[in-house]
Structure 1
């Protein structure tokens, strides 16, 4: 005898009740999740997911960005304080050898680091994507603080030495980390008409990158640590965006040429086209270098590539090679995305932890490539969407980005990389998450394609001309 299809067995009712509970789990609760876009709670073929798996609405994305803004607006201070007493110093006409710029919440956010530069870039992008003036106001507040305090700390540095100054990165620049990301952010703000005239700082940092930083024999920008000639993938972002933005600011094609040269040569040294990933770095005095494929190092490169492709002239001779490397990189990253939407600390090591900052960088670079027409939405749209969903789950109610790796040197063993701690009180993830969210908003507003849900997944379908 066949069961009456109008009635459900007790087991079936129980299953549907449990699925409904999963489907309507509160935001921020841990999985499993049902896909809310599927109205059939009895669809056993839908399954459950470790992260919310659905088509996010723009309001959901802006809510994440707003939480991050609120957190950083509080955590990233613009105050001069006494390093010994922690008291605020308001009179900037009186010399004080103990004066420093506050590093904000848990001393994790200095106003002049590469992470802060990326945060400013993210705030500018979020402001453009949302139309919300609070993001630009954040950048303006910080740049006005720099404008007020650079003369003060410059005078202090003459008394105590530039190396001891809170603004050592400007007065005693000696690394790409000191210069590139902040330089690029200041140029973007200047072109957008935000903040005071900080052209002297822009010029100083840009000229350091182009004319003073250490290079390999072939002209590739490098470091003298931890070996005499060490090449770091991180330095793609610490030099290429600033060089490219200088081309945009000045109109001088030599800046574009230098940016393109660095992108091409860094890839030739560190990119493995068979694997499709960058090694974190290599030492020129060591043959047969082992490849450690750290997530954030790959993130720095792909963000730099995206920013360069944005402004590099269409007829530049290096553009085809840069674009081809970028596309191969994206292909490999898509294949390595985890079932939770995030990427691993060591990209090719699924037993390493899932990491937020590199995920944000990849989501930004992939979504940006789709929006700019460099990547197929059919192939990569759902990759970006799944990445964003996994990433958004890492932003807690206080607007802190969890599971982001702290600062990491160029190492030579997996034990080090596997066991780097994570912290929501370091700045590495915040700018990339803002950039990713801004780009995802543009993705869902992109008129070049539609998004449909078929066979329990999402398809980005190009519109017919």
Structure 2
């Protein structure tokens, strides 16, 4: 089965399960845009534009950490950058400027907006901020937005890096003043890898940010590679062999690896076998015949209570996966787009295997 078809069907299943919104929904819309572009499908592209046109006025919005979600966030900025929605320019500009005023900790990392004095920071923010500001900056010709897009990912990578294994922790100050979460959470590392992947594929070649973006991207890819399971997936707690295999982090890693191979930053001889094994593993293990999904961790920010808050035990035992978890769809779609871009045009489905 064509992986672009799988990506499209994943989105269709998602929109039947729940209204597609919030950051995880916006990422799925972004992945659908990429799918439409790769398919060169004007009907699907028009659907993407119609979906995005519902933001902000025809969506019932929850409370957001980043108000850019109200207008369609990352996919709206991407659609503007690619010329699909020129009418979005004023919206994208307004919310880029709003994002530039976000609360920050003393090192300049955007922090939890509802308690700025506690300087609570978490790697998920790199995903929320970097692609939006990068696409907005490129669309609007605003170098300072591109600078901040790169700066936020770099600062968070440096802050959360575990030098012993090259992986990332998720958060600081959520478990208590000065305390880091003890995890190497799968999707959290994906939230760090995704924006680096966007930087290395979209930054202008002459950008002063490119050398650092490429280094951090390569370093994180190399740190992830040894931890792939025999079935092709990565785990909820990446280096812990008894942790469950997890879908959303795996999808984000495969997206990044696919980008890296296409951009000439990752050696195909080293990464292509892992990429293929991962795509085949996701296809067989995490995507059901009806395009429902399995094995995605639910929302997970420094879980646990008391002394166990932010411990590996809490990430592994409290945050258990379930079918059609709403974070699952976008990473799986991203992975399928990169499968196609990297020459995997026909994947066996469960009923065909």
Length-normalised TM-score, structure 2: 0.86
Q: Matches of 2:74 and 2:165 in 1, distance apart?
A: 30
Partner of 1:257: 147
CA, structure 1 residues 338+305, in 2 after alignment: closer, same or farther (shift >3 Å)? same
Contact 1:176 1:209 in 2 (8 A): yes
Secondary structure of 1:146's counterpart equals: coil
Q: Which has the higher contact order (CA 8 A, sep 6+)?
A: 2
Partner of 1:268: 158
Match of 1:425 among 316, 324, 335: 324
Q: Matches of 1:314 and 1:191 in 2, distance apart?
A: 17
Offset of 1:146 from its aligned partner? 3.0
* Matched residue count: 335
Kindly indicate which of the two structures has a greater share of residues assigned to strand.
Answer: 1
Partner of 1:202: 92
Q: Matches of 1:337 and 1:402 in 2, distance apart?
A: 18
Offset of 1:442 from its aligned partner? 1.1
Secondary structure of 1:324's counterpart equals: helix
Unpaired segments ≥5 residues, structure 2: 304-309, 346-353
Partner of 1:167: 61
Unpaired segments ≥5 residues, structure 1: 1-58, 76-104, 151-165, 447-465
Which of 408-417 and 303-312 deviates more?
408-417
Kindly indicate which of the two structures has a greater share of residues assigned to helix.
Answer: 2
**Is 2:33 the counterpart of 1:65?**
no
CA, structure 1 residues 149+247, in 2 after alignment: closer, same or farther (shift >3 Å)? same
CA, structure 1 residues 202+436, in 2 after alignment: closer, same or farther (shift >3 Å)? same
Contact 1:270 1:281 in 2 (8 A): yes
Secondary structure of 1:398's counterpart equals: coil
**Is 2:353 the counterpart of 1:443?**
no
Contact 1:188 1:245 in 2 (8 A): yes
Q: Matches of 1:334 and 1:177 in 2, distance apart?
A: 35
Q: Matches of 1:269 and 1:356 in 2, distance apart?
A: 25
Residues 380-459 of structure 1: pairs in structure 2 closer than 5 A: 380-393=271-284, 394-411=286-303, 412-419=310-317, 420-444=319-343
Contact 2:77 2:92 in 1 (8 A): yes
Contact 1:237 1:300 in 2 (8 A): yes
Offset of 1:312 from its aligned partner? 1.9
Secondary structure of 1:187's counterpart equals: helix
Length-normalised TM-score, structure 1: 0.67
Contact 2:118 2:177 in 1 (8 A): no
Match of 2:268 among 354, 377, 384: 377
Which of 346-355 and 189-198 deviates more?
189-198
Contact 1:180 1:206 in 2 (8 A): no
CA deviations 1:195-243 (Å, max 9, x no partner) are 58333432332122112x1101221111157881111011110101111
RMSD: 2.6
Q: Matches of 2:40 and 2:302 in 1, distance apart?
A: 39
